[in-house]
């Protein structure tokens, strides 16, 4: 009986949660918006992470973001307004349209190509035939084959001494 009540409570929660979400849209925070904007002071960080205490760009922008949120604007609207003023350079990530789409597509493709090349190379290395071990050790030439050369070498050595 307890499990039935728990299942019923969970099911009612799942059924009512979309309607709750529809009536209470998520609140836009300054942190969310500031993460989407790049600081223009030259630090290369986002407006949220700029570590200059008196930054000429991020400090006023944070105030503007707060004012826009107070007006009821959402994240997309606020970022669009900054994009209109400063251009695409203010965005912390490239858009997913036009030529910028390459910035999203090329890195994963390059990664997959690199993995493929490594897999192909490793498989070829594994398939390389290893030389078969000799069943008998190599035989050395008979002593009489080297005798004339050995005698000549010994003679030349004796002459030098």
Predicted confidence (pLDDT) per residue in 96-139, tens digit = 677 777 777 889 999 999 999 999 999 888 876 777 666 666 66
The answer to whether position 82 is within a domain reads yes
Mean pLDDT for 72-84 is 90
Domain final position from 71, 92, 113: 92
pLDDT in tens, 21-77: 445 556 878 888 888 898 888 888 888 888 888 889 888 999 999 999 999 999 889
Which residue range(s) make up the domain with 59? 26-92
DSSP summary character for residue 73: -
Domain count within the chain: 2
Q: Is 91 within 8 Å of 38 (Cβ atoms)?
A: yes
Q: Which residue has the higher pLDDT, 20 or 61?
A: 61
State the pTM of this model: 0.48
Q: Which residue has the higher pLDDT, 75 or 93?
A: 75
Asked whether residue 31 falls in the same domain as residue 83, the answer is yes
For 79-100, letters b (16+ CB in 10 Å) and e give: beebbeeeeeebbbeeeeeeee
Asked whether residue 30 falls in the same domain as residue 52, the answer is yes
Q: Is 50 within 8 Å of 63 (Cβ atoms)?
A: no
Query: At 35, which CATH number?
Result: 1.10.8.640
Please give the radius of gyration of the chain, using alpha carbons only, rounded to the nearest integer: 38
13 in the Ramachandran plot: left (φ > 0), alpha (ψ -120 to 50) or beta? alpha
What is the reported pLDDT for 134?
61
Q: At what angle do helices 58-70 and 75-86 cross, to 10 degrees?
A: 140
Q: Which residue has the higher pLDDT, 18 or 116?
A: 116
Q: Which residue has the higher pLDDT, 50 or 19?
A: 50
Asked whether residue 107 falls in the same domain as residue 88, the answer is no
55-60 LR contacts (CB < 8 Å, sep 24+):
58/34
Asked whether residue 59 falls in the same domain as residue 33, the answer is yes
């Amino acid at each position: 009986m307890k499990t039935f009540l728990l299942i019923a409570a969970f099911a009612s929660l799942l059924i009512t949660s979309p309607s709750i979400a529809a009536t209470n849209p998520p609140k836009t925070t300054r942190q969310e918006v500031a993460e989407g904007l790049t600081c223009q002071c030259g630090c290369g960080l986002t407006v949220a992470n700029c570590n200059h205490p008196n930054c000429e760009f991020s400090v006023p922008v944070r105030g503007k973001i707060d004012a826009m949120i107070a007006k009821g604007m959402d994240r997309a609207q606020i970022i669009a307004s900054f994009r209109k003023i400063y251009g695409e350079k203010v965005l912390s990530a490239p858009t997913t349209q036009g030529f910028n789409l390459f910035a999203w597509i090329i890195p994963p493709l390059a990664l997959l190509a690199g993995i493929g090349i490594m897999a192909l190379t490793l498989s070829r290395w594994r398939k390389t035939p290893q030389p078969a071990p000799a069943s008998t050790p190599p035989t050395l030439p008979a002593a009489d084959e080297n005798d004339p050369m050995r005698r000549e070498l010994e003679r030349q050595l004796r002459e030098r001494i």
